[in-house]
């Protein structure tokens, strides 16, 4: 298996282990934050989720001025250590004072959220340098993509088990440890990464924060504007990500609550099935050699959209479970080729900027969706909100087939 041979590479394995720990820890952290927020603020707890999205948006627009010109590995280590310290503070406060003030919880959310657009793009910029060729890069992207999908299954499961034996405030300690070990893994291969990564691109820090920040922001958008097909599928990915959250997470939970109140536990089963099929699709797709990645992204979007559309129309719980698995198959087919294109079609200094743009689009549209969902459900009903979310997939999938073309290599190898 290509994935197995990729993991035999010491550099890839340690970076993969670092990301695995960070992702599982992040899921445990998310569980703790959501639980504490709902316990303290009830129906207003959604504002904390919106706060997180807003800070990540802010970070995508400000972190570039502070991080460009530094080694990516150093930015990853700094991100892990900052998040280690931040997530350790609630645990210490709980142990010493028996309480975690709300201001401290907000501070932790701010720090963790701000450093996410620092760590993730830096990692994505390193991956092309440690891959032998584009085919291996697709496998590596699949390997790292699968981590996030497994974490979505394993993280909540671990959190549920931990919740039965300890206070939710102790979760922050385990989250902090995962960040610390992740930093150690990256530091252990720091010298090798320095040779592979090479010197950072020439970058001047003159001109003040605003000018540097503007260059960091617009550099990514300008680079994307020169690649129409990639830019289209990047925005389509972000729109569909918001649609996925509306349809499969919020919409499905409300649908089960309204139509199957006696079977509310099936929500967990459906998300579990989605996660399993997501991972299986990733494992299979990562082994394939994709010669037409732009076409693959449109086809994957159509597959997921069709399944989500049928889920919105279905009143059969077993059929909904089956369709969730079908919807899951399309996600890796759209996301792995997109990551590979973003890593290979741009100049080395633009890769981090482009991935920062992806996070901006992703969280911008998600934040809009979070703010609009309650009003839309009230105006046009839950059924039509889920239908429109699925139609978003189908329209963008068809548009991709018509408007976009396979790209010619122009960036780094």
Confidence check: pLDDT of 353 > 60: yes
Is position 412 within any domain? no
Is position 34 within any domain? yes
Do 115 and 225 lie in one domain? The reply is no
Do 172 and 42 lie in one domain? The reply is yes
Q: Are 157 and 28 in contact (CB under 8 A)?
A: no
What is the 3-class SS of 167-178, one letter each residue?
CHHHHHHHHHHH
The two structure tokens encoding residue 192: 């090798």
pLDDT per residue as tens digits for the range 378-392: 899 989 999 999 999
- The pTM (predicted TM-score) of the whole model is 0.80
Is position 39 within any domain? yes
Do 83 and 184 lie in one domain? The reply is yes
Residue whose pair of structure tokens reads 């294109």 in the numeric block: 341
Which class for 351: exposed (0-12), middle (13-18), buried (19 or more C-beta within 10 A)? Answer: buried
Q: What is the mean pLDDT of residues 99-121?
A: 90
Lowest mean pLDDT among 129-143, 271-285, 316-330, 380-394: 129-143
Is position 207 within any domain? no
Do 144 and 61 lie in one domain? The reply is yes
pLDDT per residue as tens digits for the range 152-193: 777 777 777 787 788 888 989 999 999 999 999 999 988 888
Do 16 and 160 lie in one domain? The reply is yes
Do 246 and 156 lie in one domain? The reply is no
pLDDT at residue 262, as a whole number: 76
pLDDT at residue 398, as a whole number: 97
pLDDT at residue 67, as a whole number: 72
Do 350 and 229 lie in one domain? The reply is yes
Do 83 and 227 lie in one domain? The reply is no
**Domain extent at residue 137:** 7-195
Question: How confident is residue 265, by pLDDT bands cut at 50, 70 and 90?
Answer: low
Q: The domain spanning residue 320 has which CATH number?
A: 1.20.1250.20
Do 124 and 271 lie in one domain? The reply is no
Q: Which long-range contacts (CB under 8 A, 24 or more apart) does 232-236 make?
A: 232/399, 232/400, 232/403, 232/404, 233/294, 233/297, 233/298, 233/334, 233/338, 233/341, 233/400, 233/404, 234/338, 234/342, 234/357, 234/358, 234/361, 235/361, 236/297, 236/301, 236/396, 236/399, 236/400
Is position 149 within any domain? yes
Quickly count: other Cβ atoms within 10 Å of residue 313's Cβ.
12
Residue whose pair of structure tokens reads 């993730």 in the numeric block: 120
Q: Which long-range contacts (CB under 8 A, 24 or more apart) does 255-260 make?
A: 255/382, 255/386, 256/317, 258/382, 259/315, 260/317
Is position 396 within any domain? yes
Q: What is the mean pLDDT of residues 224-235?
A: 94
pLDDT at residue 378, as a whole number: 87
Lowest mean pLDDT among 2-6, 114-118, 232-236: 2-6
Do 99 and 11 lie in one domain? The reply is yes
Is position 349 within any domain? yes
Do 188 and 255 lie in one domain? The reply is no
pLDDT at residue 413, as a whole number: 44
Is position 413 within any domain? no
d(CA 246, CA 213): 32
Question: How confident is residue 279, by pLDDT bands cut at 50, 70 and 90?
Answer: confident
pLDDT mean across residues, the chain: 85
Do 65 and 124 lie in one domain? The reply is yes
Which string of DSSP letters, residue by residue, matches 247-285? IIIIIHHHHHHHH-GGGTTHHHHHHHHHHHHHHHHHHHH
Per the structure, the count of domains in the chain is: 2
């Amino acid at each position: 298996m290509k994935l197995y041979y990729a993991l035999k590479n010491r550099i890839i394995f340690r970076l993969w282990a670092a990301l695995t720990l960070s992702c599982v820890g992040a899921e445990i952290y998310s569980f703790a934050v959501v639980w504490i927020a709902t316990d303290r603020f009830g129906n207003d707890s959604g504002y904390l989720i919106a706060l997180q999205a807003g800070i990540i948006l802010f970070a995508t627009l400000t972190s570039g001025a502070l991080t460009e010109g530094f080694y990516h590995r150093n930015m990853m280590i700094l991100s892990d250590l900052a998040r280690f310290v931040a997530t350790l503070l609630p645990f210490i406060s709980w142990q010493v004072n028996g309480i975690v003030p709300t201001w401290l919880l907000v501070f932790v959310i701010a720090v963790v959220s701000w450093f996410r657009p620092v760590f993730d793009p830096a990692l994505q910029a390193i991956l092309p340098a440690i891959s032998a060729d584009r085919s291996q890069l697709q496998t590596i992207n699949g390997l790292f993509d699968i981590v996030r999908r497994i974490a979505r299954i394993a993280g909540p499961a671990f959190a549920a088990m931990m919740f039965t034996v300890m206070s939710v405030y102790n979760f922050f300690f385990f989250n902090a440890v995962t960040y610390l070990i992740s930093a150690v893994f990256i530091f252990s291969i720091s010298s090798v990464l320095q040779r592979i990564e090479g010197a950072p691109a020439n970058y001047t820090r003159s001109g003040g924060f605003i000018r540097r920040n503007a260059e960091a922001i617009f550099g990514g958008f300008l680079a994307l504007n020169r690649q129409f097909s990639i830019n289209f599928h990047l925005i389509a990915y972000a729109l569909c990500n918001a649609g996925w959250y509306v349809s499969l997470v919020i919409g499905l939970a409300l649908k089960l609550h309204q139509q199957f109140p006696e079977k509310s536990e099936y929500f967990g089963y459906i998300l579990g099935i989605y996660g399993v099929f997501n991972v299986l699709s990733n494992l299979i797709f990562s082994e394939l050699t994709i010669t037409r990645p732009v076409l693959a992204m449109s086809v994957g979007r159509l597959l997921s959209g069709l399944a989500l559309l049928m889920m919105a129309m279905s009143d059969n719980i077993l059929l909904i479970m089956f369709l969730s698995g079908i919807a899951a198959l399309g996600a890796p087919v759209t996301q792995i080729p997109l990551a590979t294109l973003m890593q290979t079609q741009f100049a080395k200094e633009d890769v981090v900027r482009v991935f920062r743009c992806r996070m901006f689009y992703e969280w911008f549209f998600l934040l809009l969706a979070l703010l609009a969902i309650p009003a839309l459900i009230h105006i046009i009903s839950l059924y039509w909100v889920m239908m429109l979310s699925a139609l978003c997939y189908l329209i963008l999938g068809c548009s991709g087939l018509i408007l976009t073309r396979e790209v010619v290599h122009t960036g780094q190898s």
